[in-house]
Structure 1
Amino acid sequence: MSPYLNRIKPWVSVICTSYNHEAYVEEALQSVVDQDYPNVELIVVDNSSSDRSAERIETFAKKHPGLRFIKNLTNLGLNRAFNQGLALAEGRYVIDLAADDVLLPNRISHQVSLFEELSGPYAVVFSNAAYIDGQGRETAIHYAVDGNGRSRTKVPSGNVFQNVLESYFICTPTMMMRRDVLNELGGYDESLSYEDFDFWVRSSRLYHYAYLDEVLTLKRRLPDSLATQITLRSNQLLSSSLAVCYKAFDRCSTKAEYQALAGRVRTFIRKAFYTEQFELVTQFGQLLQHIERPDMLTCLILRLSRFQLPVNSLYRHYLKWNRGRQSAYPQTKLV
C-alpha cells in the first residue's frame, strides 16, 4: 500500500468471516469488489465451514488475486476468526463483514468521507441498514425512515457510552472502525461468544461514534442467525453478556450510566430466566444488587428461578407468535 495514496484515499480493510454461508458468500464478496472507492483490501476467513463456502471463496479468489484467504481447519469462534483477519489488515479503517450481508456500492466512500471530516476522538462511523431475507427481499429498515430516506428518530452520536448500555441501537454490520483503536483494544475479546456489545462498551468509553444517516448495508436475517440463538436453553450468549456487564460496571462513572446498566441487567435477568439458565439469573441478580435494589418484578423473577420452572418452550412459542403478529405490520421500507 502506497503511503502517498493512503494519505489521499485512506485504505480500508474489509474482513469477511464465513461459516456455512455458501449460498451468500459470493454476493457478499462481490459487494466489496463493486465499491466505488478505490483503495480497499479484502481479507476472508472461513471458519471451517462444513458446506461449500471455502470452495466458493477459492473460486472467487482466482478471479480476484488480491484477496487474502485464511482457511481454518477447525472452527475457532467468530471473534478469533476476525482477529486473524485483523492481524493481516493494513487499512486505516476496518469493516467487519459477515458473509451473508451486502455492502451497497457507496458504503465505503461515504463512510471514509465522513471519517476524514471528523475532528476529535471518533473511532466508529455507523449508518442505517435495510434487512433482507434469505432470498434478498427487503423486510424492514433498522431505523424507520421518512420519504427522503432519513431516520425518523434522532440517533445518538458523539459520546454514546450511556446509550449502548440503555439499548441496542447500532446495527453492527454498518460500522466502520479505526484500525488503531481495534489494535489498542486488543481486537475482539476471544473469550466471548459474540463481539458487538463488548466492543461498544470498551470503545465508547474512550472514543466517540458518528452516525451517517443513509442506508448503506443490507443485513440478512436468517432463522438460524446468532441473534435468534439467545432464546435457546443451551446458548452461550448470556454468559458472555454477564462478562460484558461487569466490564461496563467497572467503566461507569455517573449515576445515569449506572442506571442505564441496571436496566440492561434487568433485561438479561429476564432472558436468563426464560432460557432456564437459572444460575445466570442469580449471577445477574448479584451484579444488579451492586448497582441498585431490585424492583418488585425482578425480585419475583429471582425468587421463581429457585424453582427452575420449565418456561423456555412457552417463551419460544410466545416469540414465534409475536414475530408473526409484527410481520403483519412491518416497519417502513426504504422508498
Structure 2
Amino acid sequence: MSPYLNRIKPWVTVICTSYNHEAYVEQALQSVVEQAYPNVELIVIDNGSTDHTTERIEQFTQQHPAIRFIRNATNQGLNHAFNQGLALAGGRYVIDLSADDVLLPGRIAKQTELFEQLAGPYAVVFSNAAYIDPQGKKVGLHYAVDNLGHACTPVPSGNVFRNILESYFICTPTMMMRRDVLNELGGYDETLTYEDFDFWVRSSRLYRYAYVDEVLTLKRQLPDSLSAQVLLPDNNLLRSTLAVCYKAFDRCLTPDEYQALAGRIRKFMRKAFYAEQFDLALQYGKLLHQIVKPDLMSSLVLGMSHLHVPVNTLYRHYIKWKAADHLSKPV
C-alpha cells in the first residue's frame, strides 16, 4: 500500500468474520470484490465453523488470491476474531462485515468520499440499510424512507453520545470506521459478547459520527441472531450490556446524558427479568439507583426479580406472536 496511493485514494480494509455462514459467505465476499473503489483490502476470519463455510471461503480465495484468510480452530468470539483482522489491517478506514451481510455497489466509494470531506474529529460514517430474510427477500428498512429514498425522520450526526444511550439508532454493519481510532481504543473489548454498543459508547464520547442518507448495505436477519438470543435465560449478552452501561455511566457529563442512560438501564433491566436472570436485573437496578429513583414499573420489575417470578416462556411466546404479526404486514 504505497503512501502516495493512500493519499489519492485511501485504502479501506474490510474485515469479514464468519461462523457457520456457508449459505451466505460467497455473496458477502463477492459484494466486496465487486466494489468499484480501487483500493480495498479484504481480510476474512473464520471463527471455527463446523459446516462448509471454510471450504466456500477457500474456493473463493483461489479466484482472488489477494484475500487474506485466517482460519480459527475454535470459536474465540466475534470481538477476538475482528481484532485479529484489525491487527493485520493497513487501510485508513475499516468496515466490519459479517459473512451473512452484503455491501451494495458504491458503498465504499461513497463513505470514503464523505470521510475525506469531513473536518474535525470524525470516527464513523454510517448509512441506511435494508433488512433481508435468510432467502434474501427484503423485509424492511432501518430508517423508513420517502419517495426520493431519503430517511423520513432526522438521523443524529455529529456528537451522538446521548443518542447512543437513548437507542440503537445505528445499523451496525453500515459503519465505516477510522482505523487509528479503533487502534487508539484497543479494538473491540474481548471480555464482552458483542461489540457495537461498547464501541459506540467509547468512541462517541471522543469523536463525531456522520450519516450518508442512502441504503448502502443489506443486513440479513436470521433466527439465531444475537437479538434473538437475548431472550434466552442463559445468554451472556445482558451481562455485557451491564458492563457497557457502567462504562457509559463513567463517561456521562450532563443531566440529559444521565437521563438517557437511565432509560437504557430500565429497558435492559426488564430484559434481564424477562430472561429470568434475576440477579442481573437487580444489578441493573443498583446502577439505576445511582442516577434516579426507580419509577413504579422499575420498582415492580425489581420486586418480581427478588421473588424470581417465572416469565420467560410467556415472554418468548409473546415475542414470537409479535414477530409473526409484523411479518404478515406488507413492507
TM-score norm. by structure 2 comes to 0.99
Tell me the alpha carbon deviations over residues 179-237 of structure 1, each in whole angstroms, 9 at most, x when there is no partner. Answer: 00000000000000000000000000000000100000000001111111101111100
**Alpha-carbon separation, structure 1, partners of 2:36 and 2:152:** 28
SS at match of 2:230: helix
The count of corresponding residues between Structure 1 and Structure 2 is: 331
Match of residue 94 from structure 1: 94
Match of residue 150 from structure 1: 150
Tell me the alpha carbon deviations over residues 88-141 of structure 1, each in whole angstroms, 9 at most, x when there is no partner. Answer: 000000000000000001000000000001000100000000000111111100
SS at match of 1:291: coil
Match of residue 85 from structure 2: 85
Match of residue 55 from structure 1: 55
**Alpha-carbon separation, structure 2, partners of 1:153 and 1:109:** 25
Match of residue 28 from structure 1: 28
Match of residue 122 from structure 1: 122
**Alpha-carbon separation, structure 2, partners of 1:179 and 1:326:** 38
Q: Is the 8 A contact 1:107 1:217 kept in 2?
A: yes
Q: Is the 8 A contact 1:122 1:208 kept in 2?
A: yes
Match of residue 266 from structure 1: 266
Q: Runs in 1 of length 4+ with deviation above 2 angstroms?
A: 328-331
**Alpha-carbon separation, structure 2, partners of 1:172 and 1:289:** 30
Kindly indicate whether residue 199 of structure 2 is the aligned counterpart of residue 199 of structure 1. Answer: yes
Match of residue 302 from structure 1: 302
Q: Is the 8 A contact 1:16 1:44 kept in 2?
A: yes
**Alpha-carbon separation, structure 1, partners of 2:203 and 2:213:** 21
Q: Is the 8 A contact 1:140 1:330 kept in 2?
A: no
- Name the aligned partner's letter for residue 326 of structure 1: H
Tell me the alpha carbon deviations over residues 274-313 of structure 1, each in whole angstroms, 9 at most, x when there is no partner. Answer: 0000010110000000001000110011011111111000
**Alpha-carbon separation, structure 2, partners of 1:19 and 1:33:** 20
Q: Is the 8 A contact 1:239 1:280 kept in 2?
A: yes
**Shift of the alpha carbon at 1:330?**
4.7
**Shift of the alpha carbon at 1:325?**
1.6
Structure 2: gaps (5+ residues): none
Kindly indicate whether residue 250 of structure 2 is the aligned counterpart of residue 238 of structure 1. Answer: no
SS at match of 1:194: coil
C-alpha RMSD of the superposition = 0.6
Structure 1: gaps (5+ residues): none
Match of residue 185 from structure 1: 185
